[in-house]
């Protein structure tokens, strides 16, 4: 059933692009890197988050600890505190150091576990993808954003990304991109800000929305994702579940290529005018 609470009149977007889309660029499944073994799969695709993402929590904890030492250390006058405050200061220091050590230990254990299970994981993923290879493509939206939840160091609104099923015929993909682009432009033009409240309310804090529920059945297999502003923008990948049939489809259901060419990232974007 088509939802009706979305801004930009998405239900009628198809009629607005009847003759549009034929010149729009869309990738093909051949643009994805090929692989013929678990090792090749690991070289071409990100099976687990890249190292800097896995270590993010550790880096944040270290940053906060160093910041505390820099700010508090030189200015801390131990003699000016009474016994109770000294005990509280020691307890706080123990909690901070303990939390940091716990974070580091958990990170090391996670890395050791991943390295131990990597051969089995790669074999399982390679077998699954070999039997059901579903190429997908991400179109990043730079004109409008989801303001109902904030992410990043500056409390930036969440980004939006359309995910397309590349098994669709090229003409269908072009029209689907044309519909997505026309709708984004309609929402942007109708709002005085790039974070329209109606859009965030319609998305409803969900991590993903099936476009068939917003635009109609012609967009089956196309999904809108909520993407944190500090997370990397992913473009081409292989789906582990069928986006046409899945009840939920998120980045956990996809492995993305490890290195996206800059030109491909540029083309895969609905940018600001």
- pTM, two decimals, is 0.74
**Pairs from 64-71 (Cβ < 8 Å, separation ≥ 24):** 65/96, 65/97, 65/100, 68/96
Using CA atoms, how far apart are residues 200 and 214, in angstroms rounded to an integer?
14
Q: Which residues contact 184 (CB under 8 A, 6 or more apart)?
A: 8, 141, 143, 144, 270
DSSP 65-93: HHHHHHHHGGG--GGGS-HHHHHHHHHHH
What backbone torsions phi and psi does residue 147 show, to the nearest 5 degrees? Answer: -95, 5
Out of 77-86, 104-113, 184-193, 234-243, pick the least confident: 77-86
Q: Where are the domains of the chain?
A: 10-38+134-270, 48-129
pLDDT digits (tens, 9 = 90+) for 156-176: 889 999 999 999 999 999 999
pLDDT over 80 (residue 24): yes
User: Interior CA angle at 151 toward 246 and 112, to 5°?
Assistant: 70
Q: Which of 240, 241, 239, 244 is nearest to 221 (CA)?
A: 244
**1: pLDDT confidence band, cut at 50, 70 and 90?**
very low
């Amino acid at each position: 059933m088509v939802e009706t609470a979305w801004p930009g009149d998405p239900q009628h977007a198809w009629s607005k692009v009847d003759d549009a889309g034929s010149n729009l660029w869309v990738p093909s499944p051949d643009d994805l890197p090929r692989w013929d073994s678990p090792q090749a799969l690991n070289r071409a695709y990100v099976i687990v988050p890249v190292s800097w993402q896995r270590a993010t929590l550790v880096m944040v904890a270290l940053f906060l600890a160093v910041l505390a030492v820099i700010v508090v250390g030189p200015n801390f006058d131990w003699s000016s505190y009474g016994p109770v405050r000294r005990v509280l200061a020691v307890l706080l220091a123990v909690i901070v150091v303990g939390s940091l050590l716990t974070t580091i230990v958990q990170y090391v254990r996670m890395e050791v576990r991943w390295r131990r299970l990597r051969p089995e994981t790669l074999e399982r993923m390679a077998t699954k993808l070999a039997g059901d290879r579903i190429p997908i493509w991400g179109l990043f939206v730079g004109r409008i954003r989801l303001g109902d939840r904030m992410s990043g160091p500056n409390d930036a609104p969440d980004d939006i990304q359309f995910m397309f099923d590349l098994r669709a015929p090229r003409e269908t993909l072009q029209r689907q991109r044309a519909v997505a682009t026309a709708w984004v432009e309609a929402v942007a033009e109708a709002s005085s800000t790039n974070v329209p409240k109606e859009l965030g309310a319609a998305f409803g804090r969900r991590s993903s929305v099936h476009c068939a529920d917003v635009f109609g059945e012609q967009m089956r297999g196309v999904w809108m994702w909520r993407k944190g502003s500090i997370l990397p923008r992913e473009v081409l990948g292989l789906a582990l579940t069928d986006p046409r049939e899945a009840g939920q489809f998120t980045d956990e259901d996809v492995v993305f290529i490890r290195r996206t060419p800059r030109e491909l990232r540029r083309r895969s974007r609905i940018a600001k005018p």
